Amino acid sequence: MKMSAKWMSKVHARAPMTWQEEEVKELLEVLHMNYAVHVTFQVGTRLMVPDFFLPKLDLVIECWRSDSRRGVALGWAERNALYVNLKFRRLKAVHPKMRCLGLAEFPQVDLESLRQVVGDVMPDADFMAYSMEEFESAMKSLLGV
């Protein structure tokens, strides 16, 4: 896959994919999307490595999941969402046209609580999904399918 040097300084090819990332990858392939995994973006003196980059859509995707019980999962969901939002904010500061999608799956947590806790700290996410079904729907919407 060929990508513009403006977007990519190097690819973290050795970084293993989580099984959730494998699921996302499979869906992107079913949708015939051009994507890169674990691409590094230079942001000031730092490197940001989102899980996926879709150059055609100027879209980065970050995904995280926990099967922990509700209380533990909500705490972790909020902390990770804060970090992901910071990553989105920094990427957008350097690449203003970039769009950001978060996929947060926490099966032990009711969706209303998860949406509230994660959504409250994700103002820089253009799209949020809380299940693979919502993710698929968001991707189809972005593609106009």
pLDDT in tens, the chain (145 residues): 334 444 454 555 566 888 889 999 999 999 999 999 999 999 988 899 999 999 999 999 999 988 888 778 889 899 999 999 999 999 999 999 999 999 999 999 999 999 999 999 999 999 999 999 999 999 999 988 7
Task: Give the pLDDT confidence score for residue 27 in this predicted structure.
Answer: 95
What pLDDT is recorded for position 1? Answer: 36
The SS3 assignment for 55 reads helix
| Surface-to-core class of residue 87, CB atoms within 10 Å of its CB (0-12 exposed, 13-18 middle, 19+ buried) | buried
Contacts of 9 (CB under 8 A, 6+ apart): 40, 41, 42, 47
Q: pTM for this structure?
A: 0.87
Phi-psi region of 44 (alpha: psi -120 to 50; beta: other; left: phi over 0): left
